[in-house]
């Protein structure tokens, strides 16, 4: 059972989650992110925590497990342009080698 105000347990990312993720991260440069898991929290919008495999564009490229936090405000269809999802935090959780 999910308690209001708390994040849900992590689950696999679905197509709707990917749309939000790409909307928020499409303008980021210098790294690529591939989301695997997501947890959500409803507030005055929806907070997302995506667990991702990230590749930082250095020489040589660095891989890490990263949590990307995204906020998506609730909106009416008329106001859709003003209320896009955006990244609130990116936190590197651990590094690994290929």
CATH of the domain at 35: 3.10.450
Q: 């995506």: which residue's tokens?
A: 50
Segment 24-79, tens digit of pLDDT: 999 999 999 999 999 999 988 899 999 999 998 988 988 999 999 999 988 765 55
Residues 6+ apart with CB under 8 A from 90: 66, 67, 68, 69
Please tell me the pTM assigned to this model.
0.84
Looking at residue 86, what is its pLDDT? 93
Q: Report how far residue 31's alpha carbon sits from residue 35's, in angstroms, rounded to the nearest whole number.
A: 13
Q: What order do you get walking across the sheet with 31-42 strand by strand?
A: 11-12, 31-42, 45-56, 62-73, 86-96
Evaluate whether residue 52 is within a structural domain.
yes
Is 64 within a domain?
Answer: yes
- Classify residue 6: in a domain, yes or no: no
Give the number of domains in the chain: 1
Domain that holds residue 50: 11-96
| Residue 23: pLDDT over 50 | yes
- In-domain check, residue 4: no
1 lies in some domain: no
């Amino acid at each position: 059972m999910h308690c209001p105000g708390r994040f849900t347990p992590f689950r696999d990312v679905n197509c709707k989650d990917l749309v939000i993720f790409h909307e928020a991260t499409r303008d980021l440069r210098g790294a690529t992110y591939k989301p695997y898991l997501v947890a959500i929290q409803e507030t005055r919008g929806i907070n997302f925590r995506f667990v991702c495999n990230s590749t930082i564009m250095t020489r040589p490229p660095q891989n890490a497990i990263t949590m990307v936090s995204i906020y998506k405000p609730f909106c009416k269809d008329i106001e859709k342009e003003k209320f896009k999802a955006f990244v609130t935090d990116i936190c590197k959780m651990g590094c690994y080698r290929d």
